[in-house]
């Protein structure tokens, strides 16, 4: 139930903001709005205010604003309050305002999220210097080694770990060149990222040069008896490098009653300490709390707004690169998400709280705004593109030509919707077993 409510809230807000953009600009210019609807199909609730009917319709996957004289097939009086009676510049303003409002919403929501403060991995903004390479991973097979400084992925510079993970994550199951620096020399290695998680996020198996820290030691437990102290940094277990706290917990839990040798760093000096985990139920523990190296920031209002503009700009570039990658088949279409996946993420974010939900809404709103500007008929960008072509040709196209173009755009969007919903269903294990074409 929470998932459905969260999905309805997210979609309702994003659609309302988008359609309100069209509505408010049409009213400002003087175009008469006949219907403002959230959803498509039969109208469930409706009310009349002036010339406009406001309604909620049965199919919640979108919405629309019906303006007077916006359909060339319908009879028009030529009155100045009709959409097609206005200049191309005025019609452009109405069309572009919907996507623009989604972009503005993304900036506002992300600013709210940032103002609340955030805790991020300490290595996120650091240069991607490899600390460890997972055994059997694509990186190991390609010959990437600990100490290598990764410079670029598929021709894209990656100055930070955040940039690196983003670049690799969008190139699942496709061989890509990775340029790295090793002892002053530049090398190129071809690597094929493997799709991980149900969303097929690409990974190659390289880890940053960070290690978990012991936050506290419980009295009378194996860790205290062995001499471990709060502040110790665990570098390795039985000679195997440990990067994250989750790895350390998993390794220890599998050694109940069996001694393990921890390589720790204390006061910048490494030493080895042997400890024997004790079974408590089905889990082996040594009696410590551990954590990863993180940093916390909480910007003020103006700084949060500036950061929001900066990050949304970066995300916009990434969206553009992703769209181009899909067109050129460099990015797998299996990474696309549809309404089922968005509903799932909405429910998970809602469980985490309002800030997490606002963060998800900001991401979806930016995607909705930018993708609506693509020159695909039926979308706002498609209508703008047709108007631009008419401006270049210095004549309006016939109704028949526009009908065929819009029909082709509608068919394309329906095929796309079928594909993304199919992707969503393959991520649900009990449904995936019955699906063909996997």
Provide the 3-class DSSP secondary structure of residue 268. Answer: coil
DSSP letters, 319-382, are HHHHHHHHHTT-S-GGG---HHHHHHHHHHHHHH-HHHHHHHHHHHHHHHHHHTTSS-TTSHHH
Q: List the beta strands (DSSP E) in 244-291.
A: 260-266, 269-275, 278-280, 283-285, 288-291
Which of 340, 336, 412 shows the shortest CA–CA distance to 374? 412
Alpha carbons 212 and 241: distance in angstroms, whole number: 11
Choice among 19, 224, 265, 403 that is catalytic = 19
Question: How long, in residues, is the chain?
Answer: 438
CB 161 within 8 A of CB 171: no
403 is catalytic: no
CB 358 within 8 A of CB 349: no
Using only the alpha carbons of the chain, give its radius of gyration: 27
DSSP letters, 165-209, are HHHHHT-TTS-EEEEEEETTEEEEEEE-PEEETTTTEEE--EEES
Beta bridge partners of 182: 185
Alpha carbons 82 and 175: distance in angstroms, whole number: 53
Alpha carbons 32 and 69: distance in angstroms, whole number: 9
Provide the 3-class DSSP secondary structure of residue 12. Answer: helix
Give the Cα-Cα-Cα angle 353, 355, 357 (nearest 5 degrees): 70
Alpha carbons 333 and 200: distance in angstroms, whole number: 10
CB 382 within 8 A of CB 376: yes
Which of 325, 337, 327 shows the shortest CA–CA distance to 426? 337
Give Dmax over CA atoms of the chain in angstroms.
90
Task: Please list the active-site residues.
Answer: 19
């Amino acid at each position: 139930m929470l998932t459905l409510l969260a999905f309805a809230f997210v979609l309702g807000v994003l659609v309302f903001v988008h359609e309100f953009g069209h509505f408010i600009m049409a009213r400002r210019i003087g175009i008469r709005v006949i219907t403002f609807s959230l959803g498509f199909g039969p109208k469930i609730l409706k009310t009349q205010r002036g010339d406009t009917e406001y309604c909620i319709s049965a199919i919640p996957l979108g919405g629309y604003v019906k303006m007077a004289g916006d359909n060339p097939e319908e009879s028009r009086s030529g009155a100045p309050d009709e959409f097609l009676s206005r200049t191309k510049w005025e019609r452009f303003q109405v069309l572009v305002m919907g996507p623009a409002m989604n972009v503005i919403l993304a900036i506002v929501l992300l600013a709210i999220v940032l103002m609340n403060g955030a805790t991020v991995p300490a290595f996120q903004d650091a240069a991607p210097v490899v600390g460890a390479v997972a055994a059997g991973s694509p990186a190991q097979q390609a010959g990437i080694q600990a100490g290598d400084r990764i410079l670029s992925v598929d021709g894209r510079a990656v100055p930070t770990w955040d940039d690196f993970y983003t670049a690799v994550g969008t190139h699942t199951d496709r061989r890509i060149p990775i340029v790295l620096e090793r002892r002053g020399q530049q090398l190129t290695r071809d690597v094929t990222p493997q799709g991980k998680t149900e969303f097929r996020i690409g990974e190659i198996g390289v880890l940053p040069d960070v290690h978990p820290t012991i936050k506290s030691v419980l009295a009378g437990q194996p860790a205290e008896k062995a001499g471990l102290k709060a502040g110790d940094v665990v570098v390795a277990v039985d000679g195997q490098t440990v990067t994250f706290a989750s790895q350390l917990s998993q390794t220890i839990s599998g050694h109940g009653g069996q001694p393990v040798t921890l390589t720790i760093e204390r006061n910048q000096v490494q030493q080895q300490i042997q400890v024997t985990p004790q079974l408590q139920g089905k889990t082996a523990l040594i009696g410590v709390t551990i954590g990863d190296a993180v940093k916390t920031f909480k910007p003020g209002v103006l700084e949060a707004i500036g950061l929001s503009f900066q990050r949304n700009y970066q995300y916009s570039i990434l969206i553009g690169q992703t769209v181009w990658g899909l067109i050129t088949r460099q990015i797998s279409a299996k990474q696309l998400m549809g309404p089922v996946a968005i509903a799932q993420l909405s429910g998970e974010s809602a469980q985490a709280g309002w800030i997490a939900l606002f963060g998800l809404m900001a991401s979806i709103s930016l995607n909705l705004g930018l993708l609506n500007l693509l020159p695909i008929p039926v979308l706002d960008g498609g209508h703008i593109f047709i108007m631009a072509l008419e401006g270049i040709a210095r004549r309006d196209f016939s109704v028949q030509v526009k009908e065929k173009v819009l029909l082709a755009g509608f068919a394309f969007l329906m095929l796309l919707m079928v594909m993304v919903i199919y992707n969503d269903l393959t991520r649900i294990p009990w449904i995936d077993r019955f699906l063909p074409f996997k």
